[in-house]
Amino acid sequence: MPKDICWNCGKETDLEHIENYEDISVRGEVISVLVKYFKCHECGGEYEDSQSSYDPLALAYKEYRQRHNMMQPDEIRGLRQRYGLTQRDLSKLLGWGEVTLCRYENGALQENSHDTTLRLIKDDPHILLNLVIQNGDFLPIKKRERLISLLENEIQETHSFPLILEELFGKYAPDILCGFRKLNLDKVFQAIIFFCVDGTLKTKLNKLLFYSDFKHYKNNALGITGLRYIHLIYGPVPDNYEHYYATLQDNEGAIRVDEQFIGDYVGEVLSAVQKPDLSIFSDAEIKTLIEVKQFFKSYSASRIKEFSHREKGYRETSDGEIIPYFYADHLQI
């Protein structure tokens, strides 16, 4: 057992090196990680080794990112460096504060919406190209031209973004979990725009999409979009919904997202920037969309959440579980 000076009592004494697994809470999720520290046999004090780079919180964040398929700091840094951008460059293109990206690259846990945006940029150069064209006037001319050329070359060598999305989220056969519809991205996007014409809180929008698909299945034995819906704490939501909203905002420019204070809660309001193309829907599908929008017209986000919690399909499924469309037979509307 090594002797050293205790930081607590200042005496030279035996120091015991201890390693234990402890629970760290990350956004309400408990993660067990190994912690290392010294214990003084003279005063009983405990302290970390200041010479060590070992960081239990960083390990907890890393595990949390892995569990939720989020980008790690080195991936974020690599994405930026791949295009020769400084932290300031990419932050300005994304409309983020200058310190935000620096914090993420140095280990801070990123916001879910920010992670979604970074993943979309990583998967599809169209998004970054549009940002450079629209917001990149601050870049030196030669750097901007080189970046645009690089992105255009990448686009020619890769699939279009809708195909990438279909590969990521649409590789499932039509069955009871998706209303016996193959995922139709055009209908997903246009339904979102339809419900966002007058501005809609994200929590409410998720429920409007759920009720549209399930009501149409109830009446026609088919869903509209092919989306799967999962049980989350705020009610039924489309699986991977953040990706669809981020795509419409960042890549298509079809919606904008604004923050709105509701008491002590800050909600995200999604508003359509363009008109929905309803020509891709059948008459029966349009009728369903209109009926759902009208039925919940006066509902707040909290009221429609509470309403959805009473659905049999929600009550009989667990957190993160897909809600099968056969529960549409018991739908309240």
Q: Is pLDDT larger for residue 50 or for residue 128?
A: 128
Q: At residue 87, does pLDDT exceed 90?
A: yes
Dihedrals φ, ψ of 16, to 5°? Answer: -95, 125
Distance CA 71, CA 69 (A): 7
Q: What is the pLDDT of residue 173?
A: 79
Q: Give the full edge-to-edge strand order of the sheet including 3-5.
A: 3-5, 12-26, 29-40, 46-47
Average pLDDT estimate for 136-154: 89
Please check the confidence at residue 47 and state whether its pLDDT lies above 60: no
pLDDT of amino acid 260: 75
Share of the chain above pLDDT 70, in %: 82
Q: How confident is the model at residue 160 (pLDDT cuts 50, 70, 90)?
A: low
**What pLDDT sits at residue 54?**
67
Q: Is residue 1's pLDDT more than 50? A: no
pLDDT more than 90, % of the chain:
53
Q: Which residue has the higher pLDDT, 170 or 320?
A: 320
What is the residue-averaged pLDDT of the chain?
86
Query: Of residues 165 and 187, which shows the higher confidence score?
Result: 187
Q: Which of 328, 322, 325 is nearest to 181 (CA)?
A: 325
Cβ atoms 71, 105 nearer than 8 A = no
Tokens representing residue 251 in the block: 């890549």
Query: Are 15 and 2 contacting, i.e. CB atoms less than 8 angstroms apart?
Result: yes
* Amino acid 169: pLDDT: 62
* Domain boundary assignment for the chain: 3-54, 73-158, 172-330
What pLDDT, on the 0 to 100 scale, is given for residue 307? 97
Model confidence over 258-307: pLDDT tens digits? 877 666 666 789 999 999 999 999 999 999 999 999 999 999 999 999 99
Residue 38: per-residue pLDDT:
61
- Rounded Cα–Cα distance for residues 307 and 301 (Å): 10
Which residue blocks in 136-176 are alpha helix, DSSP H? 141-157, 161-169
232 pairs with which residues across the strands? 235
Summarised one tens digit per residue, pLDDT across range 211-225 is: 999 999 999 999 999
Question: Which amino acid is located at 229 in the chain?
Answer: Y
What sections of the chain are H helices per DSSP?
A: 56-67, 73-82, 87-94, 98-105, 112-123, 125-135, 141-157, 161-169, 185-195, 202-220, 241-246, 283-295, 301-309, 312-315
Q: pTM value?
A: 0.53
- Residue-level pLDDT at 35: 75
* pLDDT given for residue 13 in this prediction: 61
171 versus 323: which is more confidently predicted? Answer: 323
Write the pLDDT tens digit of every residue in 231-268: 999 999 999 898 889 888 876 678 888 877 666 666 78
CA-closest candidate to residue 122, choices 83, 88, 66:
83
pLDDT at residue 20, as a whole number:
74
Q: Kindly list the distances between the CA atom of residue 251 and the CA atoms of 56, 125, 134, 162, 243, in Å, as whole numbers in the listed order.
A: 37, 10, 12, 11, 11
